[in-house]
Amino acid sequence: MKIQLKRVRDQVIVITGATSGIGLATARAAAKRGASVVINARAEDDLRTVASEIGELGGQVAFVAGDVADTEVVRALANAAIAEFGRIDTWVNNAGISIYGLLEEVSLEDARRLFETNYWGMVQGSLIALEHLKANGGALINVGSELSETVIPLQGHYNASKHALKGFTETLRLELEKEKAPVSVTLVEPSAIDTPYPAHAKNYMEFEPTHQPPVYAPEIVANAILHCASHQHRTVRVGAGAKAFTLIEKVAPALGDRIKIATTFDGSRTNEPARDQNTLYRARPGDPRVRGNYRGHVMRQSWSTAATLRPIPAFLAVATIGVGLAYAVRSMRED
Q: The domain spanning residue 31 has which CATH number?
A: 3.40.50.720
- For residue 136, pLDDT beyond 70: yes
Domain boundaries, position 324: 311-335
In a domain, 117, yes or no: yes
Q: Roughly what angle, to the nearest 10 degrees, separates helices 21-32 and 218-230? A: 50
In a domain, 263, yes or no: yes
In a domain, 17, yes or no: yes
Q: Are residues 334 and 228 in the same domain?
A: no
In a domain, 281, yes or no: yes
- For residue 117, pLDDT beyond 60: yes
pLDDT of residue 307: 87
Mean pLDDT for 179-206 is: 97
pLDDT of residue 302: 87
pLDDT of residue 301: 87
pLDDT of residue 242: 84
Catalytic sites, residue numbers:
158
* Mean of per-residue pLDDT scores for the chain: 92
State which amino acid sits at residue 320. Answer: T
Q: Are residues 256 and 318 in the same domain?
A: no
Q: Are residues 335 and 244 in the same domain?
A: no
Q: For the chain, give the percent of residues with pLDDT over 70.
A: 92
Q: Are residues 325 and 224 in the same domain?
A: no
Identify the residue with better confidence: 293 or 65: 65
In a domain, 174, yes or no: yes
Q: Are residues 170 and 283 in the same domain?
A: yes
Q: Are residues 176 and 324 in the same domain?
A: no
- For residue 329, pLDDT beyond 60: no
- For residue 256, pLDDT beyond 90: yes
In a domain, 2, yes or no: no
Q: Are residues 229 and 324 in the same domain?
A: no
In a domain, 3, yes or no: no
Long-range contacts of 101-107 (CB under 8 A, 24+ apart): 101/154, 101/202, 101/203, 101/204, 101/205, 102/153, 102/154, 102/156, 102/204, 103/156, 103/157, 105/204, 106/156, 106/157, 106/202, 106/204
Q: Are residues 55 and 136 in the same domain?
A: yes
Q: Are residues 223 and 102 in the same domain?
A: yes
Q: Are residues 226 and 315 in the same domain?
A: no
Residues in the chain, how many?
335
- For residue 66, pLDDT beyond 80: yes
> Across-strand partners of 70?
none
pLDDT of residue 221: 98
Count of the separate structural domains present in the chain: 2
In a domain, 48, yes or no: yes
Backbone dihedral region for residue 286 (phi beyond 0: left; psi -120 to 50: alpha; all else: beta): left
- For residue 330, pLDDT beyond 90: no
Round to whole Å and give the CA distance between 232 and 138: 10
Q: Are residues 94 and 205 in the same domain?
A: yes
State which amino acid sits at residue 56. Answer: E
pLDDT of residue 277: 85
Q: Are residues 95 and 225 in the same domain?
A: yes
Mean pLDDT for 109-125 is: 98
Q: pLDDT tens digits for 267-316?
A: 999 999 998 889 999 998 998 999 999 999 999 988 888 888 875 554 44
